[in-house]
Structure 1
Amino acid sequence: MSRHRKPAVATFLLVCAAGLAHGKTAVKEDILRLLGIEPSEQSRDYVQNKQQFQLHTLLTEQRHPQTMDLSRSIAGDTTAGLQELFAVDRDVAATMNAVADDPARLAKLQDASQAMQDALKNGHRVYFYGTGSTGRLAETLESGLWRPFWARLARDGKIWRKVQKAYPGIQDRVRGEITGGDRALVSSLEGFEDLQLIGKLQLHDNGIGKDDVVFAVTEGGETSAVIGTAKEGAVVNGNDPDKTWFVYNNPDEVLLPFVRSREVIEHPGITKLMLATGPQSITGSTRMQATTTSLYALGVTMEDAIHALLKPVLSKRELAALGFDGNATIASRLHDFATLQQTIAATAPRLAAWTDRESSTYAAGHRTTYLAQRALMAVFVDVTERSPTFRLAPLDRANATERKSWIQVWTPAADAGAAWDALLHRPFHGLDPALYAKPFDTQIEDPWLHAAAQRSLANAGAEQQWLYDLSFSADNLRRSGPGEGDHGAMILLGNESPRIGEQWLRTFAEQGAVPVVVHVGNAPLSADALDALHRQLPQLAVFDFTMPFAHDPLQVSQTLGLKMLLNAHSTGIMAKLGRVVGNTMTAVQPSNLKLYGRATFLIQSHVNAVLSSAKWKQAHGETPPLTYAQANAVLFDAIGKRSGNPALTGSPEVELAIVRILESLRLQRAISWDAAAALLRERKLDPYLAGYDD
Structure 2
Amino acid sequence: MTDKLFQLTTEARNQQTQNLDQLPTEQILKIMNDEDKKVAFAVEEALPQVAKAVELVANALQNGGRLFYFGAGTSGRLGILDAVECPPTFGTAPELVQGVIAGGSSALLEAIEGAEDLPELGRQDVHKYGVSGKDVVLGIAASGRTPYVIGALAEAKERGAKTISLSCNPQAKVSEGVDVAIHVVVGPEVVTGSTRLKAATAQKMVLNMISTVSMIRLGKVYGNLMVNVQATNQKLRERVKRIVMEATGISYAEAERLAEQAGGDARVAILMQKTGLPRAQAVELLTRHGGRIRDAIESENKNR
In the alignment, is residue 279 of structure 1 matched against residue 220 of structure 2?
Answer: no
Q: Distance in 2 between matches of 1:125 and 1:249?
A: 25
Compute the displacement of 1:245 (Å): 0.8
In the alignment, is residue 192 of structure 1 matched against residue 115 of structure 2?
Answer: yes
2:77–2:101 CA contact under 8 A, matched in 1 = yes
Counterpart of 1:249 in structure 2 is 168
Counterpart of 2:214 in structure 1 is 305
In the alignment, is residue 127 of structure 1 matched against residue 68 of structure 2?
Answer: yes
TM-score, L = length of structure 1:
0.32
What do residues 150-204 of structure 1 show as CA deviations (whole Å, max 9, x unaligned)?
A: 3xx5xxxxxxxxxxxxxxx644310001101110111122521111000110111
Q: CA RMSD in A?
A: 2.4
What do residues 444-497 of structure 1 show as CA deviations (whole Å, max 9, x unaligned)?
A: xxxxxxxxxxxxxxxxxxxxxxxxxxxxxxxxxxxxxxxxxxxxxxxxxxx79x
Counterpart of 2:59 in structure 1 is 118
Percent identity between the aligned chains?
29
Q: Distance in 2 between matches of 1:115 and 1:304?
A: 11
1:30-69 paired onto structure 2 within 5 Å? 52=2, 54-69=4-19
Counterpart of 2:152 in structure 1 is 229
1:67–1:85 CA contact under 8 A, matched in 2 = no
Compute the displacement of 1:323 (Å): 7.8
Compute the displacement of 1:122 (Å): 1.8
Out of 17, 33, 38, which is 1:86 matched to?
A: 33
1:130–1:179 CA contact under 8 A, matched in 2 = yes
Task: Go from structure 1 to structure 2 and tell me whether the alpha carbon gap of 1:197 and 1:149 turns closer, same or farther (over 3 Å shift).
Answer: same
Q: Distance in 1 between matches of 2:127 and 2:227?
A: 35
SS of the residue aligned with 2:137? strand
Task: Go from structure 1 to structure 2 and tell me whether the alpha carbon gap of 1:222 and 1:308 turns closer, same or farther (over 3 Å shift).
Answer: same
Q: Distance in 1 between matches of 2:11 and 2:224?
A: 43
2:79–2:207 CA contact under 8 A, matched in 1 = no
Counterpart of 1:288 in structure 2 is 197
Counterpart of 1:322 in structure 2 is 226
1:70–1:84 CA contact under 8 A, matched in 2 = no
Compute the displacement of 1:98 (Å): 2.4
What do residues 118-171 of structure 1 show as CA deviations (whole Å, max 9, x unaligned)?
A: 12112211000100010111111112x313313xx5xxxxxxxxxxxxxxx644
1:230–1:270 CA contact under 8 A, matched in 2 = no
SS of the residue aligned with 1:172? coil
1:103-114 paired onto structure 2 within 5 Å? 106=48, 108-114=49-55
Q: Distance in 2 between matches of 1:125 and 1:65?
A: 42
2:46–2:182 CA contact under 8 A, matched in 1 = no
Compute the displacement of 1:60 (Å): 0.7
Q: Which amino acid aligns with 2:6?
A: H
Task: Go from structure 1 to structure 2 and tell me whether the alpha carbon gap of 1:170 and 1:310 turns closer, same or farther (over 3 Å shift).
Answer: farther
Counterpart of 2:88 in structure 1 is 148
TM-score, L = length of structure 2:
0.70
Q: Distance in 2 between matches of 1:295 and 1:93?
A: 11
Q: Distance in 1 between matches of 2:38 and 2:196?
A: 15
Q: Distance in 1 between matches of 2:95 and 2:146?
A: 27
What do residues 633-654 of structure 1 show as CA deviations (whole Å, max 9, x unaligned)?
A: xxxxxxxxxxxxxxxxxxxxxx
Counterpart of 1:502 in structure 2 is none
Task: Go from structure 1 to structure 2 and tell me whether the alpha carbon gap of 1:188 and 1:200 turns closer, same or farther (over 3 Å shift).
Answer: same
Task: Go from structure 1 to structure 2 and tell me whether the alpha carbon gap of 1:320 and 1:271 turns closer, same or farther (over 3 Å shift).
Answer: closer
Compute the displacement of 1:207 (Å): 1.7
Q: Which amino acid aligns with 1:132?
A: G
What do residues 615-660 of structure 1 show as CA deviations (whole Å, max 9, x unaligned)?
A: xxxxxxxxxxxxxxxxxxxxxxxxxxxxxxxxxxxxxxxxxxxxxx
SS of the residue aligned with 1:68? coil
Counterpart of 1:337 in structure 2 is none
Q: Distance in 1 between matches of 2:113 and 2:207?
A: 28
Task: Go from structure 1 to structure 2 and tell me whether the alpha carbon gap of 1:96 and 1:266 turns closer, same or farther (over 3 Å shift).
Answer: closer
Residues paired across the two proteins, number: 231
Structure 2: unaligned runs, 5 residues or longer = 229-234, 237-304
Task: Report which structure shows greater RCO (CA 8 Å, sep ≥6).
Answer: 1
1:398-417 paired onto structure 2 within 5 Å? none
Q: Distance in 2 between matches of 1:174 and 1:299?
A: 12
Task: Go from structure 1 to structure 2 and tell me whether the alpha carbon gap of 1:303 and 1:219 turns closer, same or farther (over 3 Å shift).
Answer: same
Q: Which amino acid aligns with 2:60?
A: A
Counterpart of 1:561 in structure 2 is none
Task: Go from structure 1 to structure 2 and tell me whether the alpha carbon gap of 1:71 and 1:272 turns closer, same or farther (over 3 Å shift).
Answer: same
Larger Rg: 1
Task: Go from structure 1 to structure 2 and tell me whether the alpha carbon gap of 1:111 and 1:287 turns closer, same or farther (over 3 Å shift).
Answer: same
Q: Which amino acid aligns with 2:226?
A: L
Compute the displacement of 1:54 (Å): 5.0
Q: Distance in 2 between matches of 1:177 and 1:81?
A: 34
Q: Distance in 1 between matches of 2:70 and 2:198?
A: 18
Q: Distance in 2 between matches of 1:265 and 1:117?
A: 21
